[in-house]
Amino acid sequence: MNPDALRKATPEEQFEEVSRGTVDLHSPEDLKKKLQYSYDSGKPLVIKAGFDPSRPDLHLGHSLLLTRMRRFQDFGHTVVFLIGDFTALIGDPTGRNATRPALTRDEVKANAETYKQQVFKVLDAEKTTVRFNSEWLDKLGTEGMIRLASRYTLQRMLERDDFKRRFRDNVSISIHEMLYPLLQGYDSVALKSDVELGATDQLFNLLVGRQLMREENMAPQVIMTGPILEGLNAKLVDGKISGEKMSKSLDNYVGVSEPSDIMFGKLMSITDDLMWRYYQLLSAKTLKELAELQAKVASGEVHPKAAKLGFAREMTERFHGAEAGRKAEEDFEKRFAKKELSLEDLPLSEVALAGAEKLPLTKVLVEAKLVVSATEARKLMAQGGVRVNGEKATDPKAELGAGEYLLQVGRLRAARAKLA
């Protein structure tokens, strides 16, 4: 507990920062009261956010929640990073049109370790409490699970949009899926959380937790949901950012583990309008600092490109460190802003043939760190986004033999590859 951190900003100032970009807030009055109590008593609030380790890699869209958690953390509150190792065995049905395949314990454990490596690029590891919900859910047992299931009616559970839709369309709903919101709600009871954070599509689950806490005669948690981050190709339409959500499958994402130069280049490709959206949701800058920057851009004192460079550098430094951010900006300026694409300036990747005469181009692209997977490489090749020595390469079965090649992926990624 750090009373000084709790009092470095007034409750009003804290509320303004931690609530920025929220979609649902139940309720503003409750949050203000909790922040005031914390400020007066010197007791930090317990901020909970749950993550089911259903995928090993995270992108910037997933980091929205982490960014909000960090804002609470910087004000001295206790952040609980909850890994849903038990609930991942069920699979969160939120937004699903079919039952999600359950993960094995080994898969959950492996993904959870990867999560921990990535999330502490945003959160302060020394100030973060990591918990696993198997700690209390494994102990529920059959009787406890039945008692928990008795706390909610089938009618109320079918009010959930995805369950309602699947029921209407005669798509099967497994009984165990209906336990998921109850188990997530029970997490809040076990942790005695003051605030639970989640994406807007998690609202139903978060409300269940609020209700279960009331039934336990506990002060109900405040619920805060944030937006789903739009992908790199989103644009301003009729005064509002419009586009598909950030997704690896749509290839409009920025992976938090992607190489620094790729991350930087991707962020420089977004529109100026989307830049401000990303700034608001992801930047560590305060709202006051953002307003000042926007005013300078509007007046012509700061060029929009300079503002975008600042954002790209901030994100790259967050996930790769200050030196990587500086170098990524320097390389970008040299190679793209100044239209200099010199072979000598490009990174060289040495790829071993290991006795083979040729290697698949998809494998070489992965080895050169221009893509994160062969699947991504094949998709980009099909879209005409891959060039070898200046020529488009669209054949997913293409191979390269011994020699040195100029490889380009899209407009912003390039490298040399030496096969030997």
Tokens of 374: 């062969």
CA distance 385 to 393: 8
Same domain? 113 vs 176: yes
How far, in Å, CA of 214 to CA of 151, rounded? 12
What Rg, from alpha-carbon coordinates, does the chain have?
A: 24
What does the pLDDT read at residue 97?
47
Does 300 share its domain with 368?
no
CATH of the domain at 254: 1.10.240.10
Q: Which of 312, 337, 362 is the last residue before a domain boundary?
A: 337
Q: Do 176 and 74 fall into the same domain?
A: yes
Domain range enclosing 410? 343-419
d(C-alpha 62, C-alpha 254), whole Å: 10
Q: Which residues of the chain have pLDDT under 70?
A: 1-3, 54-56, 91-102, 336-345, 411-412
CB atoms within 10 A of CB 190: 15
Domain boundary among 282, 310, 337: 337
Distance, in Å, from the CA atom of 257 to the CA atom of 252, rounded to the nearest integer, reads 15
Please tell me the pTM assigned to this model: 0.74
- How many domains does the structure of the chain reveal? 3
Could you say which of 162, 192, 226 is where a domain stops? Answer: 226
Please identify which residue in the block is written with the tokens 């009331």: 214
What is the spatial distance between Cα 164 and Cα 347, in angstroms, rounded to a whole number? 52
Do 126 and 104 lie in one domain? The reply is yes
Based on the domain organization, do 172 and 295 belong to the same domain? no
Residues 169, 163: Cα–Cα separation, whole Å: 10
Distances (CA, A) of 365 to 15, 43, 254: 46, 52, 17
At which residue do the structure tokens 């269940």 appear? 208
Residue 328: alpha-carbon gap to chain centroid: 21
Could you read off the pLDDT of 201-245 as tens digits, one per residue? 889 989 999 999 999 999 999 999 998 899 998 988 888 888 888
CB 76 within 8 A of CB 123: no
Output the six-digit token pair for 2. Answer: 């750090």
- Domain of 162, CATH number, reads 3.40.50.620
What is the per-residue pLDDT for 54? 67
Rounded CA gap, 160 and 154, in Å?
11
Same structural domain for residues 142 and 188? yes
